[in-house]
Structure 1
């Protein structure tokens, strides 16, 4: 597929580099492609070669050379290959990974119609705040009853010691800490 452009004469419809990229694509068996692909490949090739030459220049300057030679370019290409590109994993590894993954059957599709969304807590549309926080439980009424007077035995003495050693419950501690202050005292006017 050639790029038709009115800017070029009829015998030369596209620049030489674009024709070379088109011929490379056709030789690889790619027949149908967007014309922008050629421009993207040209841009990639330009950026890659300029980066390789800049790296080769740095290597030549480091070696106190006045010109870039073949070893500098090979070192720059090797540095780019190790840094930019990775080799794909072997086919056997991918097949083994696929076999392992495909051993587990897919879950059954439920007999439910409509859009299937996860629970609200896992959705972006779910409510993740509460306007009114959970109210504390109402305080229990504490009634002071006089303790019956009786002779302490060894069993009742142990129970009284245990009751005296236990700390008060949270609601009792909260009710003792509350201050009864008018609201105006909390704000500076």
Structure 2
């Protein structure tokens, strides 16, 4: 290894001695040494962007997305490379397939069209909202809701209760009290 390089960090970060070429800053709540290098890099990228509060699973989710996206792009690029290269006439198999930059560009371009949807412009959304809001809501019908019989036949207007303490009534009979 080369002679160590001194890396200084902002005031909230510690001073770390690292071998030449390795750059790492440690904060007071340093990540465990078992953290993968890519996760540490993502932590540093988010810290440099001012993102300080996030769940521990966020870098893992970003790495998972990057892995899946890269894998899909490379698989598509390989298919495009196989299709675009001529086959060996004697064996009928593809001759030494190598992925080129053009294959990757084609794969990314094809995937962008259906995988990532752009956000419509704000002006368009405001115009659609104004068109929709020009039409008034339908009027509420006079007979809206549950149709009840006249009030004298309903038990909704008066509070009725059963009097449990009536002592002068025979056993088994209960009086009804109107409140």
Structure 1 or 2, whichever has the larger Rg, is 1
TM-score normalised by structure 1 residue count: 0.45
> More helix per residue: 1 or 2?
1
Please report the TM-score for the alignment, with normalisation by the length of structure 2. 0.48
Question: Which structure is higher in strand share?
Answer: 2
